[in-house]
Structure 1
């Protein structure tokens, strides 16, 4: 489908239905060139860690170059050597691509999804354009381009099957999963454990010392936000990920900081309720849910045996909670 329709008047961009056959063909050439460059960037980005996927994108870049060559030959036959300088961003109702610098920072699966979307957008655009054309020759040209993109999509599927079948695909998927664990799950889990457990003592000590829900909430809020900022900066600063392979320090710091803050806020928010005992009862239920969520994440993603994870987390949380209550009630 046409993915974006933007107003043409203020920006000075043309509408597709105002383009001549020469401009349409020049636009197709420019689009194939850009897509080929995008696939080449993907391949270069993945070559070290995911060589099989890099081979897929190398093949797709080659297909785009072949399409460009065929389009250019047809353009020369019909209109000569000078190709009109028109690109996607010159046409208001033409599909747009994400900036390569933005997409290439994403993971392997996201790059594969982006490539599939590129092929669908190009194919659907030419189908829609052919349907709007009233000129028989232009309709035939656009139909040929639509079939070419459909064939390219099939070729992309063949490339994936050739290069990512069996052990290569399994190895790359395992590597991508491991990177997800190192970059997001481990820092997030550490943050959730720190936020959920370490804030128990100050929050419940304040609660039982003052029996004032608002004061308890303020202490819990400050402890949670402060711990989140501290954990986030610590995670981001202590390891740049280059030697450890743990990924972007910014992503790890974000995961750790946000989960730390959420872990503490979970049992601080109930103290917005004016009734002390009602708020405390709800907070204790939230603590129970938080601890079991930690156990589930450890078992699901870190492959920690459920019984051992439950013993460690629940026992540690119970001790910290008891310490806070005893100190606050003293």
Structure 2
């Protein structure tokens, strides 16, 4: 790895060519990743990729005039001082906000590079081109805003917002809701069966903890292994698995924690109250994100929850 201050003018130009090639390809990947869900925003990144290719052509032309045909391969990771970029362009489906933030960071870094490189150059033509490119990078943000205002109309923005919401539902809400429902409902029977069989709060607490954690691990792996998201658009399987597993454990722990109260009937009353709150939250989430009316969601969830609740009590009291 070499220090930026040690680069020759030939190496600076070669590095600039490499940076523009990389940025153009990244913008093209952004456009490809956004095209399915955000087609108009994808056009903005196609235009930015075309501008970066234009910069590359100007740099190569000047390099050929000064140093000949061979351009040494000098990459950003070969020079100290560049920020390591996370490969967000490899994630499918892409988040629109994540892509925009990454693009802003790329433009800021490239602008800083051209500004510093122009100051170090003693060749008038090279210094002029690098300075011009630094100015153009400063104008890229305004250029992107102009393209976005022209291509992304209010109607298109509304459609893209709907697409973003749909991706959020697919990647976070659905696995989280599945986990919360499983954790809140499936752990009711063993918890209350243990409670009414033993009438001991600590033993009931241990059964509840085991049920919640075990269900969380099981649901997390089941969700992560269900599909890789490449065809369904549901995103990273491990993220979905984590969300599902954590929410399953949370659902089970909610009505388990009251059994830390030493008095059995007080703990049981508190646990029952928590169950009512949990079922209400699940009904609200289904109404908010799954286009289910609140009454229908409440009826489905509460009836199922009460049946499992009653099953646990009957078995524990037998």
Which band: TM-score by shorter chain?
Answer: 0.7 to 0.9
Asked if structure 2 preserves the Cα contact closer than 8 Å seen for 1:16 and 1:94, the reply is no
1:21 correspondence with 2:9 = yes
Partner of residue 180, structure 2: 192
Inter-partner Cα distance in structure 1 for 2:128 and 2:162? 45
Which moves more between the two structures, 225-234 or 60-69? 225-234
1:87 correspondence with 2:86 = no
Partner of residue 292, structure 2: 304
Inter-partner Cα distance in structure 2 for 1:131 and 1:209? 80
1:155 correspondence with 2:134 = no
Query: CA 1:133–1:227 in structure 2 vs 1: closer, same or farther (change >3 Å)?
Result: same
Residue in structure 2 matching 1:219, options 181, 186, 207 = 207
Asked if structure 2 preserves the Cα contact closer than 8 Å seen for 1:22 and 1:75, the reply is yes
Partner of residue 328, structure 1: 316
1:256 correspondence with 2:262 = no
Report how far residue 163 of structure 1 moved: 2.5
1:58 correspondence with 2:50 = no
Residue in structure 1 matching 2:25, options 17, 23, 37 = 37
Matches within 5 A, 1:103-122: 103-104=91-92, 106-122=94-110
Asked if structure 1 preserves the Cα contact closer than 8 Å seen for 2:92 and 2:235, the reply is no
Asked if structure 2 preserves the Cα contact closer than 8 Å seen for 1:108 and 1:176, the reply is yes
Inter-partner Cα distance in structure 2 for 1:103 and 1:182? 15
Query: CA 1:144–1:96 in structure 2 vs 1: closer, same or farther (change >3 Å)?
Result: farther
Query: CA 1:239–1:21 in structure 2 vs 1: closer, same or farther (change >3 Å)?
Result: closer
Asked if structure 2 preserves the Cα contact closer than 8 Å seen for 1:41 and 1:100, the reply is no
**Which consecutive unaligned segments of at least 5 residues does structure 2 have?**
none
Deviations 1:49-80 (A, max 9, x none): 44323322221110110111122223334444
Deviations 1:206-252 (A, max 9, x none): 12321333322332222223333443454455666677665565554
Query: CA 1:18–1:29 in structure 2 vs 1: closer, same or farther (change >3 Å)?
Result: same
Inter-partner Cα distance in structure 1 for 2:13 and 2:146? 27
Matches within 5 A, 1:70-149: 70-99=58-87, 102-104=90-92, 106-127=94-115, 129=116, 142-149=130-137
1:173 correspondence with 2:161 = yes
1:287 correspondence with 2:275 = yes
Query: CA 1:288–1:121 in structure 2 vs 1: closer, same or farther (change >3 Å)?
Result: farther
Report how far residue 117 of structure 1 moved: 2.6
Report how far residue 196 of structure 1 moved: 0.4
The CA RMSD measured in Å over matched residues stands at 3.3
Query: CA 1:230–1:275 in structure 2 vs 1: closer, same or farther (change >3 Å)?
Result: same
1:152 is paired with a residue whose SS is helix
Q: How many residues align?
A: 317
Partner of residue 7, structure 1: none
Asked if structure 1 preserves the Cα contact closer than 8 Å seen for 2:9 and 2:121, the reply is no
Which moves more between the two structures, 238-247 or 45-54? 238-247
Report how far residue 145 of structure 1 moved: 3.0
**Which consecutive unaligned segments of at least 5 residues does structure 1 have?**
1-12
